[in-house]
Amino acid sequence: MNNDLNNNQNGIDSLDNNMTNNMNNGMNYNNDLSNLNPFVQNTNQNPMNTVNLSNFEQELNLDQNNNNMQNMDNSQMYYPNNAYGNGYNMDNGMNQNPNNGFNNYNQPTVAPEPPQKKKKKTGTLVIILIIVCLIIGGGLFFYLRLAGNKVAPVTIDAKTVDLELGSTLDTTVEKYATVSNISASSCTVDLSKVDIKKEGIYEYTVKCGEVSKTGSVKVADTTAPKVTTKEVTTYIGGTYKIEDFIDSCDDASECSFEYTKSDVTNNTNAEGTYEISITVSDEAGNKTDVTGKLVVSGSAPVSYLTCSKDDTSNSDYVISNIDKIGLQANYTYSKMAKRVKSIKFVKDSNYLIIKSNYENDKSYKYNNYEGIPKFNDSNYELTYENSLTSSTLDSEYGSTFPTSLASIRTYYTTKGYTCKLERA
């Protein structure tokens, strides 16, 4: 009996020792665990809630345990089939019966952690993809921006320009070239090599900033002369020239004249009015046909009533207006008259300049006077002499021009002329 009691007492003491060791180990584990994870409480104050989990530390990866424990509710920390009974809640274990299942205590059984799926490194891939997209998008943006801001080159398309001889030289850029990607007002045209008064092909240059282009100008006479004629009066047996019928010839080059009909003769044997066909040509071959009027009447004048009037309003020259009225033997108007314009230059330099330029011209217009010029070097005088028709005298007089010497003299002296009688 006593032996049995002793054996039982020894068994109880052994069990107490085991429990004490287990509780000490459990307390040590709880201390470590509480330091690692805030969800595990320190149970040093209650030795009944400690378990020996020394082997459990070897099986449990503390890093994974910490991550899992952060995602678990305190009430979900459950260890089934442990030595303390059919289930032990680590947080609520202090309220469990500490003696529950001690007789069956062996080694705590820990439920295996479910397999953890490896997280795909999608975050890194997304960041890399974003960076690549930003690089590509930024490069495309700047490329398109630079392409949009790129200045197109300036181009000049020079033209071949035809200009009329003697015309006014057009200096606008648009006349000579088509420019692109720049305003024509920002360009200039150099026409210094173009002589508009002489036929030929000349070079010009259009410049826009640093870009320049040359083109060509063709100066040509393509316009026929503009001619006006006048009536020529002569006497029976008198003579005349073809130039006497030309009042003016307007052309960029010199005019020449010829009778259109080859059978025209200088026939003044009978009184009458005749039409004279004349062809006027310029140096380029442009032609104009005109008709002159010839009046043959009476006999040749035997004397002239010469009436003159000077104009001294200009300090560079003196203009003398002279009308010579032809008279018959009985001193009546013979239907023949001449009008002379005399220009006497004060300075020889002005006279010599005009003479050098126009001495060989068949017709020259100066100071609204036009005709065949004659030069007198002795007194620096330039004169024009033209026929004065009866129709012109009638128009200036206002009715039929007077025929008697006295009436003619009175008409001219009333206008401020000085008249004198001269032999033909």
Q: What would the pLDDT profile of 266-317 be if each residue is shown by its tens digit? A: 678 888 888 899 999 999 999 999 999 888 877 788 999 999 999 999 999 9
Q: Is residue 73 part of a domain?
A: yes
Q: Do 67 and 126 have their domain in common?
A: no
Of 297, 313, 339, the residue at which a domain comes to its end is 297
Q: Do 385 and 400 have their domain in common?
A: yes
Can you give the pLDDT at residue 41? 43
pLDDT tens readout for residues 217-237: 999 999 999 999 988 888 888
Can you give the pLDDT at residue 384? 84
SS3 373: strand
pLDDT tens readout for residues 314-358: 999 999 999 999 998 899 998 889 899 999 999 888 899 888 887
Can you give the pLDDT at residue 256? 93
Q: How many CB atoms lie within 10 A of CB 90?
A: 21
Short-list 174, 172, 161, 170, CA closest to 202: 161
Give bridge partners of residue 157 from the DSSP assignment.
178
Q: Is residue 203 part of a domain?
A: yes
Q: Is residue 245 part of a domain?
A: yes
In percent, the amount of the chain with pLDDT more than 90 equals 39
DSSP string, 333-386: EEEEEEEEEEEEESSHHHHHHHHHHHTT-SSEEETTEEE-EEEETTTTEEEEEE
Q: Do 167 and 240 have their domain in common?
A: no
- pTM of the entire structure? 0.48
SS3 49: helix
Of 202, 220, 238, the residue at which a domain comes to its end is 220
Domain count, the chain: 5
- What CATH number does the domain containing 210 carry? 2.60.40.10
Q: Is residue 109 part of a domain?
A: no
Q: Is residue 7 part of a domain?
A: no
Can you give the pLDDT at residue 266? 65
Q: Do 305 and 424 have their domain in common?
A: yes
Q: Is residue 5 part of a domain?
A: no
The domain in which residue 126 lies consists of 121-148
Can you give the pLDDT at residue 283? 92
Q: Is residue 92 part of a domain?
A: yes
